[in-house]
Amino acid sequence: FVMGSGLVVTFLGYRLILVRERPWFAGSFRLPASITIDGRLMGGAALFGLGWGLTGLCPGPAIASLAFGGWQSFLFVIAMAAGMAAVRFITRQPVTPGQMADVEG
């Protein structure tokens, strides 16, 4: 139900928003330009799924759960940050949301 709801909201959101000439607070829309499925994408997805499966947390809720003060949440967020830093160090490039393309209208 959660995934289905997210897909419906995303589908409708894209349909409603992309008919605009441009976003309210930016000069143009920035959408992913690449549709290539490569090793980096597959590895990242596998690590994300493994972390989620082992802990029951994904990044957003993990950060929100810090408000409850549980040591498990703090440990998870520290490990997540260490993983992001390790990727940045190993690949020697900034971790970005991917190649983005400006889309006019």
Predicted TM-score of the model (pTM): 0.56
Smallest CA-to-CA distance from 66 within 54, 82, 55, 78 is with: 78
pLDDT digits (tens, 9 = 90+) for 52-98: 888 888 888 889 999 999 898 899 999 888 888 888 888 776 555 55
Q: Could you report the per-residue pLDDT of 6-28, keeping only the tens digit for each? A: 999 999 998 988 888 888 888 88
pLDDT of residue 102: 52
CA torsion sign, 29 to 30 to 35 to 41?
negative
- The number of residues making up the chain comes to 105
pLDDT of 104 above 60: no
3-state SS string over 7-63?
Answer: HHHHHHHHHHHCCCCCCCCCCCEEEECCCCCCHHHHHHHHHHHHHHHHHCCCHHHHH
